[in-house]
């Protein structure tokens, strides 16, 4: 059973003929542009990962602030 990859579906949606050529084993003529696109996607992936890490740090800081404020309020009441 052949596994269909998302990139293959994208190729088919973009250009049916390009998809067919790819199945036949032809190499694309725009390898330089495709390499540039891969680099762009890798850079975007790093940015997404970094933003996810920063979001975790932000949530952790917020949780720490809430805990600290709660402790401070409890101590000031007693």
SS3 per-residue string spanning 24-60: HCCCCCCHHHHHHHHHHHHHHHHHHHHHHHHHHHHHH
Comparing 70 with 23, the larger pLDDT belongs to 70
CB atoms inside a 10 Å sphere around CB 11: 19
Residue 1 covered by a domain: no
Residue 34 covered by a domain: yes
Distance CA 75, CA 11 (A): 63
CB of 19 closer than 8 Å to CB of 8? yes
In this prediction the pTM is 0.54
Tell me what the pLDDT averaged over the chain comes to.
90
Which tens digits make up the pLDDT trace of 50-60?
A: 999 999 999 99
Q: Where does the pLDDT of residue 76 fall: very low under 50, low under 70, confident under 90, or very high at 90 and above?
A: very high
Q: How many domains does the chain have?
A: 1
Comparing 74 with 31, the larger pLDDT belongs to 74
Which residue range forms the structural domain that includes residue 37? Answer: 6-77
Per-residue b/e over 34-53, b at no fewer than 16 CB within 10 Å?
Answer: eeeeeeeeeeeeeeeeeeee
Residue 63 covered by a domain: yes
Q: Where does the pLDDT of residue 2 fall: very low under 50, low under 70, confident under 90, or very high at 90 and above?
A: confident
């Amino acid at each position: 059973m052949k596994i269909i990859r998302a990139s293959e579906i994208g190729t088919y949606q973009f250009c049916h003929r390009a998809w067919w050529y790819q199945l036949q084993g032809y190499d694309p003529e725009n390898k330089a542009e495709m390499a540039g696109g891969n680099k762009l996607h890798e850079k975007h992936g790093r940015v997404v990962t970094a933003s996810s890490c920063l979001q975790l740090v932000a949530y952790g800081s917020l949780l720490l602030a809430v805990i600290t404020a709660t402790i401070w309020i409890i101590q000031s009441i007693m």
